[in-house]
Amino acid sequence: MAEVRLRRWRLEDAADVAVMANDEFFGPWSTMAADLDRWIRAEMAEEHGPTRAICLSDDDRALGRVALRPPDLASDAVRCQAVRESDQPAGELSYWLVPEARGRGLAYAAVRLMIETVVAGSGLRSVVLDIEDGNQPSIRLAERLGAERRSPSRVKADPAGTLRTLVVYVLRVA
C-alpha cells in the first residue's frame, strides 16, 4: 500500500490544490473556484466535519483531500432510499486527488487511514460514498474498499444546475 499521511489543512495548501477547481469530476460540485481562500479556511475550521490533506509520508505537500461528514452535516445521500436503516448512523465519506497524484494507490491508502483514525471512533455504523456515474476511478476505489453499490441511483443538480446521476456505495465500518 502507498505510504501516505493525513494532516490538517493550512492556508499555504491552497496553491497546491487550486488545480482541482477545474477538475472534470470535482469541479462541478465544488465552491473552490468561486473563493479558494474561503474554501481552504472552511477546511481548516472543519465546518462540515473532519477533513484532512493527503500527503506522501515523506513530503508535506497537499496532494488531495479525504473528509467525513457526520450524519447531521452530510448530504441527503445518507438518507436516500439506497441506505438502509441497518446502515444508520451513516456519515458521508469523500475524497479526491490532484491529477498528478492519481493512479498510485494514494486515495485507497488515505481512505483506509481516515477510516482507521477518524471514522473508527465516530460511532458510525457505515459511511456513504456518493459518486457521479461515469467516475470510474472513484467507483473502482469504492469497490476496492469493499463498499456495496446500492440501488436506486440518485439524480441531483450540481451547483450550476446541471442534473447528474449519482451512484450510492455503502461501506460498513462497525
DSSP output for 54-110: EEETT--S--EEEEEE-TTTS-GGGGSTTS-GGG-SEEEEEEEE-GGGTTSSHHHHH
Residue 168 near residue 82 (C-beta atoms within 8 A): yes
How far is Cα 138 from Cα 44, in angstroms, rounded to an integer? 24
User: Integer distance in angstroms from the first to the last C-alpha of the chain?
Assistant: 23
> CATH fold of 4-172, please?
Aminopeptidase (3.40.630)
What's the pLDDT band for 143 if we cut at 50, 70, 90?
A: very high
> For 42-60, how does the pLDDT look when each residue is reduced to its tens digit (9 = 90+)?
999 999 999 999 999 999 9
**What is the rounded average pLDDT for all residues in the chain?**
92
pTM over the 0.75 mark: yes
Q: Hey, what's the cell of 158?
A: 450540481
| CA 92 to chain centroid | 8
**Cα four-point dihedral sign 2, 120, 31, 37:** negative
How far is Cα 5 from Cα 54, in angstroms, rounded to an integer? 6
Mean pLDDT of 123-138: 94
Name the percent of the chain lying above pLDDT 90: 76
Residue 22 near residue 56 (C-beta atoms within 8 A): no
